[in-house]
Amino acid sequence: EVQLVESGGGLVQPGGSLRLSCVVSGVTFTTKWMSWVRQAPGKGLEWVVHVSPDGSETKYVDSAKGRFIISRDNAKSSFYVQMNSLRVEDTAVYYCVEWGQFDNYWGQGTLVTVSS
């Protein structure tokens, strides 16, 4: 069974930082592109960042550039996003997403709330 388990969400003040983690099991993690996709309360989906299987290629949506840093540890089948200088508009459920050629899996999401 494939599982993606996110953690690290919570309440943080504007300007603060959080680190989200995702542990993946049931797939060959080292061959998968991984992404964080977020969903603001009552809103649609927004792709935030993704990382290649070996970690050499990363892409960020403009609003995350310079503030978010994605990384992965293939030995631990885990990947992360360090989120700095958080803004109220970053409030969302953050989903960890695995992209295979013929499969696609989402975690249950972790809620990040940026509020004073």
Partner 1 sequence: DVVMTQSPLSLPVTLGQPASISCRSSQSLVYTDGNIFLHWFQQRPGQSPRRLIYQVSNRDSGVPDRFSGSGSGTDFTLKISRVEAEDVGVYYCMQYRHWPHTFGQGTKLEIK
What is the SS3 assignment for 62? Answer: helix
CA distance 86 to 113: 9
Both structure tokens of 82:
């360090």
CA distance 113 to 53: 29
Question: Given candidates 2, 40, 45, 88, which one binds partner 1 under the rule CB under 8 A?
Answer: 45
Question: Given candidates 1, 56, 102, 116, which one binds partner 1 under the rule CB under 8 A?
Answer: 102
The residue among 1 and 62 lying less far from partner 1, judged by its C-beta, is 62
Applying the rule CB under 8 A, the residues between 69 and 98 that interact with partner 1 are 95
Which residues contact partner 1 by CB under 8 A? 37, 44-47, 50, 59, 61-62, 95, 102-104, 106-109
